[in-house]
Amino acid sequence: MKKGLILVTSGYERFVHWLLAISCLLLCYTGLGMMFESLNFFGVIFGGLKGLKIAHNFIGLVFGVALGLAIKMWWKEAGVFVFPEDFEWFKTAGGYLWHVDKVAETGKYNPGQKMFFLTVAAFGLLMFVTGFFMWFQESFPLGNDLLHWLYPLHALGFVVIFAFFFVHLYLGTIGNPGTVQAMISGWVTKAWIRKQHPGWLKEMEREGTLIVYNKEEK
Ligand code: HEM
């Protein structure tokens, strides 16, 4: 590892992120396999459609736990907008959509990332609650009207999270080179953090919480 790299995520943060991400993607895979007849073959690795459904339900429980941990861990940094800097950032769309000379310096997560977090939190909860009642519908006398709403709401949650996921995947990898390291080893270059999270860098420097790798390269 190179001298001068900066640690931006803890092992716990990365564990929760990947538990959430992998369970979410497996739910998309197993859910799509059940939803569309043409994708029923997704069930082959789970021993057929019944296996696909059992896997979907239990992975849903893992997703629920991961989502709870993620909300607890990130709500302060990624769930609350801070004014005026977040508003200034919105006015320039963070410099992503057209050229701007200066993008407002925001905290650890920029408002675009906050929007992604809030979408995952809100629609993830919707998925968990609707999925839970679909699974245990015989134990809860919800009535046919309410029961019929669970299915379109569950599908809506999928469409929203899946769409946002592709934007997140692009921005977290090829859209912003060096970013994925934040969720793999946790160590990033100072140039990356200065470009992606300048306000946060200054905050850490001011508070003396910056963790810099000081050993010589092996
Ligand atoms: C497999 C593909 C994925 C990759 C490569 C990836 C990558 C990343 C990276 C690099 C970050 C840190 C960004 C930064 O500090 O600037 C991040 C944050 C985050 N990821 Fe992912 N992620 C993936 C999938 C997911 C999925 C499926 C979810 C949710 C269902 C998710 C939820 C989050 C959240 C909530 C954050 C923190 C706030 C934010 O950056 O919006 N990620 N991810």
Residue 214 domain flag: no
Residue 168 domain flag: yes
Residue 73 domain flag: yes
What is the best residue among 25, 110, 168 to mutate for testing ligand 1's pocket, by most ligand atoms within 8 Å of CB?
168
The finding on whether 179 has its CB within 6 A of some atom of ligand 1 is yes
Instruction: Kindly give the distance from the C-alpha atom of residue 157 to the centroid of ligand 1, in angstroms, as a whole number.
Output: 18
Measured from the Cα of 121, ligand 1's closest atom is: 35
Q: Provide the pLDDT confidence category of residue 218 given band limits of 50, 70 and 90.
A: low
Instruction: Kindly give the distance from the C-alpha atom of residue 172 to the centroid of ligand 1, in angstroms, as a whole number.
Output: 7
Give the burial class of 47: count Cβ atoms within 10 A of its Cβ; 0-12 exposed, 13-18 middle, 19 or more buried: exposed
Residue 216 domain flag: no
Tell me the three state secondary structure of residue 6: strand
Instruction: Kindly give the distance from the C-alpha atom of residue 169 to the centroid of ligand 1, in angstroms, as a whole number.
Output: 7
State the average pLDDT over residues 16-43: 97
pLDDT digits (tens, 9 = 90+) for 70-120: 999 999 999 999 999 999 999 998 888 888 888 888 889 999 999 999 999
Q: Do residues 44 and 52 lie in contact, with contact meaning Cβ atoms separated by under 8 Å?
A: no
State the average pLDDT over residues 124-135: 97
Q: Is the pLDDT of residue 197 over 70?
A: yes
State the average pLDDT over residues 141-170: 94
Residue type, 167: V
Give the separation between CA 126 and CA 106, rounded to whole angstroms: 29
Indicate the Cα dihedral angle 94, 96, 102, 104, nearest 10°.
10
Q: What is the CATH number of the domain that holds 71?
A: 1.20.950.20
pLDDT digits (tens, 9 = 90+) for 177-192: 999 999 999 999 999 9
Give the burial class of 138: count Cβ atoms within 10 A of its Cβ; 0-12 exposed, 13-18 middle, 19 or more buried: exposed
Give the separation between CA 51 and CA 53, rounded to whole angstroms: 5
Residue 32 domain flag: yes
Strand partners, 187: 7
Instruction: Kindly give the distance from the C-alpha atom of residue 179 to the centroid of ligand 1, in angstroms, as a whole number.
Output: 10
Cα-to-chain-centroid distance, residue 24: 9
Residue type, 125: L
Question: What pLDDT does 89 receive?
Answer: 93
Structural domain boundaries enclosing 52: 6-207
Question: What pLDDT does 217 receive?
Answer: 62
Residue 212 domain flag: no
Task: Report how many domains make up the chain.
Answer: 1
The finding on whether 196 has its CB within 6 A of some atom of ligand 1 is yes
Residue 218 domain flag: no
The finding on whether 128 has its CB within 6 A of some atom of ligand 1 is no
Q: Is the pLDDT of residue 41 over 80?
A: yes
pTM comes to 0.94
Q: Cα Rg for the chain, rounded, in angstroms?
A: 20
Residue 213 domain flag: no
Quick one: what percent of the chain has pLDDT higher than 90? Answer: 83
